[in-house]
């Protein structure tokens, strides 16, 4: 399931992130890649444990906490602290799959990467190329969103970032361990929840149909959730 969530960041938060990143030091992006991914990766990143990454990561996590759509789509159990990357002209990230397990920094916990997310911090007109290309059973999907918008997709997907030919593409990226690990089940629950929202527009919350659908949704979550 690939879902676009618009306006995750407010204009003020986006401007603050951009200004802070402009004044920050970037390093080779291979520092957070696995052995195979490192051979395909050519970009820059903000150091993962830097004060900038931690501060701006908190800005994004707060924004995600206020996004009902993110919760509906990802059903998050844990979210990996957001990272920040940059692709200047000539840079790209060839086809790869994200690491299945990642250690959470400064903890003894690990996270299973069920859902991958990219939060765009540059507007499309600021650069040429740089599309996020996601492969699934229905083909290739090219994603290039306005600054402040987020795309979520299964971390099991082959994907790549096309070469940037002009300008600079900035983004935040992170992973979510979902309470429901299987993408097919998350998709079913997402579609079910969207249908409930539409039904509630025409019926009262205490209507038997609304109550029955809502109960079934939560019982499915109860059946499939892993905590």
Q: What share of the chain is helix, strand, coil (3-state, %, to 5)?
A: 35, 30, 30
The tens digit of pLDDT for each residue in 125-149 reads 999 999 999 998 889 999 999 999 9
> DSSP letters along 154-171, please?
ETTS-EEEPPEEEEEEEE
Which bin fits 211, alpha (ψ -120 to 50), beta or left (φ > 0)? alpha
Residue 42 marked as a ligand binder: no
Check pLDDT > 70 for residue 203: yes
Residue 169 marked as a ligand binder: yes
The tens digit of pLDDT for each residue in 96-117 reads 999 999 999 888 899 999 999 9
Residue 128 marked as a ligand binder: no
pTM: 0.94
Three-state DSSP class for residue 153: strand
From the list 84, 55, 40, the residue with the least C-alpha distance to 173 is 84
Residue 98 marked as a ligand binder: yes
């Amino acid at each position: 399931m690939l879902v676009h969530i618009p306006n995750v960041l407010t204009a003020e938060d986006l401007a603050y992130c951009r200004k802070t990143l402009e004044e920050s030091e970037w390093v080779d992006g291979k520092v957070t890649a696995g052995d195979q991914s490192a051979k395909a990766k050519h970009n820059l990143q903000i150091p993962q444990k830097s004060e900038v990454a931690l501060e701006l990561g908190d800005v994004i996590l707060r924004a995600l906490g206020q996004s009902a759509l993110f919760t509906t789509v990802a059903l998050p159990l844990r979210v990996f602290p957001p990272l920040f990357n940059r692709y200047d002209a000539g840079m790209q990230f060839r086809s790869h799959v994200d690491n299945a397990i990642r250690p959470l920094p400064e903890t003894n916990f690990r996270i299973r990467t069920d859902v991958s997310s990219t939060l765009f911090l540059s507007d499309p007109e600021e650069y040429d190329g740089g599309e996020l290309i996601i492969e699934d059973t229905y083909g290739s999907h090219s994603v290039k969103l306005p600054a402040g918008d987020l795309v979520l997709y299964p971390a099991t997907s082959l994907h790549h970032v096309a070469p940037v030919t002009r300008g600079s593409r900035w983004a935040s990226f992170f992973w979510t361990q979902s309470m429901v690990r299987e993408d097919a089940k998350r998709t079913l629950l997402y579609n079910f929840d969207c249908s409930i929202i539409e039904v509630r527009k025409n019926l009262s919350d205490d209507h038997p149909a609304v109550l029955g659908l809502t109960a079934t949704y939560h019982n499915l979550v109860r059946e499939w959730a892993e905590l």
